Each structure stands twice: as C-alpha cells, then as structure tokens.
C-alpha cells in the first residue's frame, strides 16, 4: 500500500508548524488514472463530495422532470450549503411544493453557519430547523425521488428504494462495488469507494453528453446546475462557491466532510478526487487549489485561490503570522 504524501503545510516564523498528508487522483475520460499522489486505491468515504452522484437517480428516474425542478433546485440538491436565507427559503418552498414540511426531512437540525442567519435566529430567540441543515437540498431531492418511487417516509434507511437507487448509481459510476458504508452527518448512508473510484466518477461527469442516454443527460445537467449556481452549492465566503466563481463556471467542485474534495473539468474531460488523511479542511482546500492551478483552470493569483493556497494567515490584530502552502513535490 502506497503511503499518503505531504500535500499542504502551515508555516510560521519561517518554520514548518503543521503538515497534512493525503491521496489524490486525476482520471481522464476513459476512467484511467492520468496522475496520482499517495495511494490511488485508498478507500475513503466521499461524504458530501458525492452529492452529485446521489442526485443521479433523481434525474434518471424522471422524478425531477415530473416535479418540474429548476436548475437552481438541482444545484441545491448537490449542495453543502450554509443555511443562509437563500438556502433556507429554497428548501422550504421545495418542501411546500411537495406538500411536505420540515418535519418530513431526516437530515436533522443544524445551526446555520451563515452568520447573518445565525444571528437572526439568536436575536429572535429562534431555533434552527432541518432546512438549515447543510444537506437539506439533497434531502429535498431524496423526498422528490421518493414521491416518484412511492417509498415510505424513512427514506434514509439503507434498504429504502431511494438509497438502493443511490447505491446502484454510485457503484456504476465509480466502476467499483462499494466495500461498505457509513452513516453520514445527515443520516443518509455514505458509500465508501477508492480515491480512484471517486475520480473516475468525476471524469464521467466531465465527459457526460447532454444529448446522451439518461445517465449522461443527468450528469451533464447536474454539472451545469452546480456551475450555474455556485452560491447555492455552498454560500458566500465558502471554498466551493468562491472557487467555482473564480473559474468562471467552467469547472464544478465539491467538498466533503473529513477533507475530501472533487472536481469536474468538462473542457479537459477530467475528474479529480482527493482526501486529506487527517480530515483537515484547510488542507483539502489548499490541495484542490494546487491541482486546479496545475490543470490550468484556476489562476494562482486569484483572491479566491490566495485565500486557501499561498494563503497568508493573520492573527486577531491582522498581523501576518504564517502561510498555508502546498508541500514540496505535490502538484
């Protein structure tokens, strides 16, 4: 088994303070590895980085069309949003359109990370709802598919038709049987795969033909939705939103908990997946920036890049105290 390699580092006072190791794979449109760092066969949980895979059955089944979902709703279905007003409102309307309510969600209640919405709730002595959960869009998608399939209300159970459809699509697009699953923060099953399997899935999305078969059309629509609505996929200030904007809508990217990051590069017909072994988000953001710069789709000097790679760290008084860099030999 190949060891993970150093990918990102925090330097302070001219000395290395902290270092993150990881695995990364770039696949081409044949699903083969173009380049890899660390162990391409490392088994990982994609966590939220695979939300576009989890949304495939929503489109392929015809459920999205039957429900008249907009492109913005498809973006929200792929989102790990921060529970801002735009996310909260879209999820709330979506549930109402389905004749459902917050109580029908199974993602759980999460305090919004959007500061304006968080502060509004605190000032009003209000409580967050399930629509604030970063996964509420994905769950609205699950509920839309569930209506179409006629399944029971416990749509996050492993043997529920919604999750079985997700599992089948996930294994087909990653090109591997999943070696197992865990339960995600939002209570849905999260299927394990290799870093290569995840990169291969992203390469499939990258080459998906919008005039092709059902799966191709679904993948192409989801990629387009993510790049068209970067503010829905995460939120103001967040890596996915800022970096997709920085790349002018040409590349779709998605983060996942425990430091997973994926990218779909349609023009280059390539997919990228990476996992920082220790789960450090700052390192996953730095590493995906490094790979996107290397692929020529992200400017090294763009402010959204410099917030995460070659990123000056300031302290409480705004004094420069360190920098986050990519490790020597990576990307």
Report, in Å, the least distance between residue 165 CB and a copy of itself.
Answer: 20
Min dist. Cβ of residue 112 to a copy of itself (A):
12
Shortest Å distance, C-beta 215 to a copy of itself: 26
- Closer by beta carbon to a copy of itself, 45 or else 204: 45
Nearer to a copy of itself, 61 or 110 (CB): 110
Number of neighbours of residue 104 by Cβ within 10 angstroms: 16
Task: Dump the DSSP string for 198-236.
Answer: HHHHHHHHHH--TTSSHHHHHHHHHHHHHHH-HHHHS-T
Cβ nearer to a copy of itself, comparing 18 with 70: 18
The residue count for the chain: 331
Look-up of token digits 């089948």: 168
To the nearest 10 degrees (0 to 180), the angle between helices 136-149 and 85-97 is: 10
What residues between 4 and 63 interact with a copy of itself by CB under 8 A?
10, 12-15, 17-21, 43-45
Count of residues engaged in binding a copy of itself, rule: CB under 8 A: 48
Q: In the complex with a copy of itself, which residue's Cβ is closer, 148 or 254? A: 254
Measured CA to CA, the distance from residue 81 to residue 235 in angstroms comes to: 6
What residues contact 172, with CB distance under 8 A and at least 6 apart?
215
Q: Does 158 bind a copy of itself (CB under 8 A)?
A: no
Q: Which is nearer to a copy of itself, 192 or 244 (CB)?
A: 192
Using rule CB under 8 A, residue 186 touches a copy of itself? yes
How far apart are alpha carbons 219 and 52 in whole angstroms? Answer: 8
Q: Which of 1, 68, 301, 317 binds a copy of itself (CB under 8 A)?
A: 317
Find out whether 274 and 22 touch, Cβ atoms under 8 Å: yes
* Cα–Cα distance, 281 to 284 (Å, whole number): 5
Among 1, 99, 301, 319, binds a copy of itself (CB under 8 A): 319
> How is residue 250 written in tokens?
């040409």
Q: Which of residues 67, 76, 145, 192 is near a copy of itself by CB under 8 A?
A: 192
In this complex, which beta carbon is closest to a copy of itself, that of residue 218 or of residue 257?
Answer: 257
Q: Judge whether 133 and 186 are in contact, CB under 8 Å.
A: yes
Q: Residue 23 pairs with which residues in a beta bridge?
A: 275
Site for a copy of itself in 80-139 (CB under 8 A): 106-110, 119, 122-123, 133
Residues 223-282 close enough to bind a copy of itself by CB under 8 A: 258-259, 276-280
* CB 129, min distance to a copy of itself, A: 11
Per CB under 8 A, which region of 31-39, 81-89, 142-150, 186-194 contacts a copy of itself? 186-194
Residue 184, helix vs strand vs coil: coil
């Amino acid at each position: 088994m190949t060891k993970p390699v150093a990918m990102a580092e925090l330097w302070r006072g001219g000395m290395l303070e902290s270092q993150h190791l990881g695995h990364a794979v770039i696949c081409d449109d044949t699903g083969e590895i173009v380049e890899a760092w660390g162990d391409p066969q490392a088994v990982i949980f994609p966590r939220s980085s695979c939300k576009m895979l989890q949304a495939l059955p929503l489109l392929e089944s015809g459920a999205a069309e039957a429900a008249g979902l907009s492109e913005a709703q498809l973006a929200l279905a792929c989102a790990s949003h921060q529970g801002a007003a735009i996310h909260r409102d879209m999820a709330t309307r979506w549930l109402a359109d389905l004749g459902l309510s917050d109580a029908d969600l199974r993602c759980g209640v999460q305090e919004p990370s959007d500061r304006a919405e968080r502060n509004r709730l605190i000032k009003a002595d209000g409580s967050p709802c399930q629509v604030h959960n970063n996964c509420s869009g994905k769950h609205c998608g699950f509920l839309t598919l569930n209506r179409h399939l006629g399944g029971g209300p416990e749509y996050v159970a492993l043997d529920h038709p919604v999750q079985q459809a997700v599992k089948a699509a996930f294994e087909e697009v990653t090109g591997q049987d999943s070696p197992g699953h865990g339960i995600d923060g939002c209570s849905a099953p999260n299927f394990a795969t290799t870093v290569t399997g995840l990169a291969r899935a992203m390469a499939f999305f990258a080459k998906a033909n919008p005039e092709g078969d059902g799966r191709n059309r679904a993948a192409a629509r989801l990629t387009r939705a993510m790049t068209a609505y970067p503010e829905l996929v995460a939120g103001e200030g967040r890596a996915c939103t800022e970096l997709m904007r920085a790349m002018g809508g040409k590349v779709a990217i998605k983060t996942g908990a425990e430091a997973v990051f994926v990218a779909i590069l349609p023009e280059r017909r390539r997919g990228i997946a990476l996992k920082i072994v220790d789960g450090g988000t700052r390192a996953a953001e730095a590493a995906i920036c490094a790979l996107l710069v290397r692929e020529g789709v992200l400017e090294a000097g763009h402010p959204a890049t410099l917030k995460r790679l070659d990123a000056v760290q300031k302290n409480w008084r705004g004094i420069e105290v360190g920098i986050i860099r990519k490790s020597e030999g990576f990307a």
